[in-house]
């Protein structure tokens, strides 16, 4: 974002170079760093992330179950969304609002006050932000029109607590629009199509809240491409062909009455959980039954199994209009002329949100995973617009769920796969 538009900013955390990464090897070869010291600093950073994550006592299961409504309407297609990106955007809305408007948003998030939501997001940001083995970049941008009177002290506070940038300019100015668009392309990553995601600017636009999330990491144990085979996958309409990546290893898995969940770990410390509903139960039905509330508890009691897995390569892209569903979840005033935004006003009026869009994309293959997401809120003026565990054969040959976890308690991405990549 061009400095001429910036009102408030923040400094991203400094991540030590990951031992063995290209940047670390280059620094050691040039004599700019000592290999042992690099390793010590990185392990210390990982330990601090783990201790920070343990401070988060938040139960996100109710929030995740509320969000699952966006996945249950996939109508036989693949679907994906980023809970972290949506949480980031709604927490920004919490900080911009007051009164009953704020209380409604907090209720959906599952917090009593703004301080609790901010503290939880701060932990999620710090433990997930990564460079080196993995790249995980959560980011946010609050964009205001030049006609909006800002409480600058509050904007500085928001920039710090939400790790975001705050900017101000004319939405009728093409350069300002381009700067916002360029930020979104970088924040959400190049793998996710964003054509049409950013509304056209104009005199009625007063606010845009944008969050982005970019994820790239390799599997801790890459799948051998020579073992990948073509096989049948049962879609909602009938059988289709998929490429199955195969591996065998001992893992701690979740064996529940209604599903089986198996994790595949990443170099950077996160995991992707592949969730296969019991026979006769669709992923959408599992979600409607309150899957995340059960899954978050089941994760505490895994069992060890000798897992022989066959996982299809897949990719999924979703673009969702969230406004009406957020209304149904209980956020009302933010979208009406009763919206209360005391820290941002224009012509004496508060700002209401008139559209909420979310986009997410994910792709996995034998090497690893790449995923990205954005959330955009568009605002206008109110009054205007065992010892020998048994073998587990885990074959994802019918529709399934996935949950991509980072180092924090809130998943980075979740989704439904009804049609893998052929």
Give the count of beta carbons closer than 10 Å to the beta carbon of residue 64.
Answer: 23
pLDDT at 117: 94
Phi, psi of 381 (to 5 degrees): -70, 145
Block means of pLDDT (10 residues each) for the chain, 422 residues, are: 84 81 80 81 85 87 90 83 94 94 94 93 89 84 91 91 92 88 81 55 82 92 94 89 93 93 90 93 92 90 93 90 90 91 84 91 92 91 66 80 84 86 63
317, 360 Cβ separation under 8 angstroms:
yes
- Beta bridge partners of residue 302, listed in sequence order: none
pLDDT at 33: 77
What does the CA dihedral 109, 62, 313, 248 come to, rounded to 10 degrees? 130
Query: DSSP letter string over 84-122?
Result: HHHHHHHHHHHHH--HHHHHHHHHHHT-SSHHHHHHHHH
237, 285 Cβ separation under 8 angstroms:
no
pLDDT at 385: 47
165-169 and 238-255 strand pairing: unpaired
Q: Sign of the CA dihedral 356, 200, 315, 398?
A: positive
Cβ contacts of 420 within 8 Å, gap of 6 or more:
233, 240, 242, 243, 312, 313, 314, 396
Q: Which helix (H) or strand (E) holds 207?
A: strand 205-218
In 238-274, which positions are buried (b, 16+ CB within 10 angstroms) versus exposed (e)? Answer: eeeebbbbbbeeebebbebeebbbbbbbbbbbbbbbb
d(CA 82, CA 63) in angstroms, rounded, equals 12
Report helix, strand or coil for 78.
coil
d(CA 182, CA 132) in angstroms, rounded, equals 24
pLDDT at 196: 47
Give me the count of residues in the chain: 422
Longest dimension (CA), the chain: 72
Query: DSSP letter string over 273-291?
Result: EEEEEPTT--HHHHHHTTH
287, 404 Cβ separation under 8 angstroms:
no
Task: For tokens 């408030």, name the residue.
Answer: 8
**Which tokens go with 212?**
């982005």
Kindly state the DSSP code that residue 266 receives in the 8-state scheme.
Answer: B
In 349-382, which positions are buried (b, 16+ CB within 10 angstroms) versus exposed (e)? Answer: bbbbbbebbbbbbbbbbbebbbbbbbbbbbbbbb
pLDDT at 370: 92
280, 307 Cβ separation under 8 angstroms:
no
Number of DSSP helices (H) and strands (E) in the chain, helices first: 11, 18
pLDDT at 289: 92
Report helix, strand or coil for 67.
helix
């Amino acid at each position: 974002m061009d400095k001429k538009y910036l009102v408030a900013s923040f400094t991203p955390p400094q991540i030590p170079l990951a031992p063995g990464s290209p940047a670390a090897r280059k620094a050691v070869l040039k004599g700019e760093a000592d290999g042992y010291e690099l390793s010590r600093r990185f392990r210390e950073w990982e330990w601090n992330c783990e201790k920070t994550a343990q401070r988060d006592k938040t139960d996100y299961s109710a929030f995740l179950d509320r969000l699952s409504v966006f996945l249950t309407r996939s109508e036989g297609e693949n679907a994906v969304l980023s809970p972290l990106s949506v949480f980031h955007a709604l927490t920004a809305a919490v900080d911009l609002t007051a009164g009953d408007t704020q209380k409604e948003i907090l209720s959906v998030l599952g917090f009593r006050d703004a301080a609790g939501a901010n503290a939880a997001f701060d932990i999620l940001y710090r433990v997930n932000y990564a460079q080196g083995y993995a790249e995980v970049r959560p980011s946010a941008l609050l964009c205001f029109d030049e006609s909006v009177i800002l409480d600058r002290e509050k904007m500085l506070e928001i920039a710090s607590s939400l790790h975001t940038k705050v900017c101000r300019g004319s939405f009728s100015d093409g350069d300002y629009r381009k700067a916002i668009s360029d930020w979104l392309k970088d924040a959400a990553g190049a793998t996710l199509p964003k054509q049409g995601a950013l509304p056209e600017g104009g005199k009625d636009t007063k606010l845009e809240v944008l969050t982005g999330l970019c994820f790239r990491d390799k599997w801790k144990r890459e799948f051998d491409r020579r073992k990948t085979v073509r096989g049948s996958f049962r879609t909602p309409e009938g059988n289709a062909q998929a490429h199955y990546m195969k591996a065998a290893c001992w893992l701690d898995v979740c064996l529940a009455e209604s599903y089986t969940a198996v994790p595949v770990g990443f170099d950077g410390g996160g995991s992707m959980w592949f969730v296969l509903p019991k026979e006769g139960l669709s992923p959408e039905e599992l979600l409607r039954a309150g899957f995340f509330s059960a899954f978050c508890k089941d994760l505490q009691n895994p069992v060890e199994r000798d897992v022989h897995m066959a996982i299809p390569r897949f990719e999924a892209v979703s673009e969702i209009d969230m406004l009406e569903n957020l209304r149904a979840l209980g956020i009302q005033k933010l979208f009406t002329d009763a919206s209360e935004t005391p820290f941002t006003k224009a012509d004496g009026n508060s700002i209401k949100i008139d559209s909420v869009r979310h986009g997410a994309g994910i792709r996995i293959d034998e090497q690893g995973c790449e995923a990205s997401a954005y959330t955009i809120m568009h605002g206008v003026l109110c009054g205007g617009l065992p010892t020998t565990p048994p073998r587990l054969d885990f074959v994802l040959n019918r529709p399934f769920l996935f949950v991509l976890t980072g180092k924090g308690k809130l998943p980075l991405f979740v989704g439904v796969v009804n049609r893998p990549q052929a």
